[in-house]
Structure 1
Amino acid sequence: MRRLTAHFIPAVLSLACAMPPAAAWAQQATSLPPNDAPSPAPNVHPDVRLPTLNTPVRVEDIKVSGNKQVSTGAIMAVVPFHVGSMVTQAQITQGLQDIMKLYQQQNVGGKFHQSLNLDGKRVKVEWAIEETGGPAHFDKPLVLESLGFDGNLHVSTSALKQAVHRQPGEQVTPATVLADEKAIQALYVKKNIGVTIVPESRAPHKDERVTLTYHLTEKAND
């Protein structure tokens, strides 16, 4: 959804991160396309251009809403910038991922939405959090039975398997899945390709074994 105000041309980037119990803990989206820079709204003059993904902009405001189980102070403590900082859109997105990692460390499920209101070299950041119930507790790690990828058209499956750290037979946790997602994203960044990563876990044997599939949506540069 795009909005237009008198002074700001906002671009809304959103992602969802859910932490339900048992093996389904890996069913979460924790990455944004690294090159998914916003574009002007349809009724904006064609000469108006928004900053590119890697152009530093000044943070004018940061708003966090919806958080109840994790304090705003704890959230802002993990964000690597503050009001007045010069940051790129990629760094802002990394800040959101740091918040998501904090929620995982606290074992609190949630969905996270990021909105960037851009005006020239200024940006207002809004993070809306939908906490999904109480903490998700895990008694012990699960054993990875199989690992798969789909949607990868520009990066080979063999390259993806080499990029991740956990292989079948090894133990996995929410933290290791997040680390592997970042490894996959880093591989795509090297190739200058945007990607959204959604891991999906299943427990077909109803025990401690889990299958893990990374669903990838690629976005190559034009």
Structure 2
Amino acid sequence: MRNAVPCAVIGFALLGAAVPAWAQTPTSVPPSDAPSQTPQGKEATALPPVNTPLVLKQLTIEGNQRIPSNRLMAAVPFHVGDTISQSRITEGLQDVMKVYQQENVGGKFHQNLKINGKDVIVEWTVEETGAAAEPARPLKLESADFTGNLHISGAALHKALHIQPGQTVTPAEVLSDEKAVQALYVKKNIGVTIVPEVRYPHHDDRVAITYHVTEKAPD
């Protein structure tokens, strides 16, 4: 006896500016036993419980345009031939939804199960509702300057910097340059406090960094 278990899973949409994957609030997804068992036809009157073991005979996903199927399938923790339950199938769809979250692509997800005895065919359909956000452009260093340096020349401090104008700027590289400047002061036995200030003078991806130096001369 073949039974169909249609289930529409609530999707999500991304609006406005792109949000990094790590900062996203997890999408509300249905619990593992969410699929409502809705028999179709007079003969389909007794569907198995959601935790009944079923053999996966076929798994398909359609409607995905912005994320390739092989990547979505790689996120699913089971394969054709495995013995799984309806609850586990829904969890697999949730894993697919997480991939869409990571790629900042909105979508609505639908699940249809075709159960024939102990066998099940799983059909997932995606309605994509948002394009993938453009990746953030890397920041480029336009200039680096120093203020407050009295015991070490600006030329010597600039020579210690690893980031040069035109190169990519990351927080880790700024911290590395800060430590390099500090090392020069340590060699001269001079205490120092360094506070980097990052500015966007052109309101684009170019940054200007000013290292504010507060020296404490040796006694």
* Displacement of 1:133: 2.7
Contact 1:51 1:121 in 2 (8 A): no
* Superposition pairs of residues 169-184 of structure 1, within 5 angstroms: none
Contact 2:6–2:38 (CA under 8 A) maintained in structure 1:
no
CA shift, 1:16, in A, is 2.5
Q: Contact 2:114 / 2:121 at 8 angstroms: preserved in 1?
A: yes
1:9 paired residue among 3, 12, 20 = 3
Alignment-derived partner of residue 184 in structure 1: none
- Asked if the contact 1:59/1:122 (under 8 Å) is kept, the reply is yes
1:99 has 2:64 as partner: no
Give me the CA root mean square deviation.
2.7
Number of residues of Structure 1 aligned to a counterpart in Structure 2: 131
Q: Higher Cα Rg: structure 1 or 2? A: 2
- Cα deviation 1:201-220 (Å, max 9, x = unaligned): xxxxxxxxxxxxxxxxxxxx
Correspondence for 2:12:
18
Residues 2, 116 of structure 2: 8 Å contact kept = yes
Q: What is the aligned partner in structure 1 of residue 165 from structure 2?
A: none
- 1:38 is matched with 37
In the TM superposition, residue 41 of structure 1 has moved relative to its aligned partner by 3.2
Structure 1 runs not aligned, ≥5 long: 1-6, 140-222
2:52 counterpart residue number? 55
The percent of aligned pairs where both chains have the same amino acid is 38
Q: Does 1:86 align with 2:90?
A: no
The answer to whether structure 1 residue 129 and structure 2 residue 126 are counterparts is: yes
Query: Does the alignment pair 1:114 with 2:111?
Result: yes
Q: Distance in 1 between matches of 2:48 and 2:106?
A: 33
1:40 CA displacement:
3.2
Taking structure 1 as the reference length, what is the TM-score of the superposition?
0.52
Work out the CA distance in 2 between the residues paired with 1:76 and 1:41. 28
Measured in 1, the distance between the counterparts of 2:70 and 2:114 equals 22
- CA spacing shift, 1:45–1:109, aligned 2, 3 Å: closer
1-side partners of 2:129 and 2:92: how far apart?
21
Task: Give the conservation status (yes or no) of the 8 Å contact 1:54–1:90.
Answer: yes
Q: Cα offset for 1:36?
A: 4.2
The equivalent residue for 1:216 is none
Alpha-carbon distance in 1 for matches of 2:69, 2:5:
23
Answer yes or no: is the 8 Å Cα contact 1:109–1:136 preserved in 2.
no
**Deviation beyond 6 Å, 4+ runs, structure 1:** none
| Structure 1: distance between partners of 2:40 and 2:65 | 33
Q: Which amino acid aligns with 1:93?
A: T
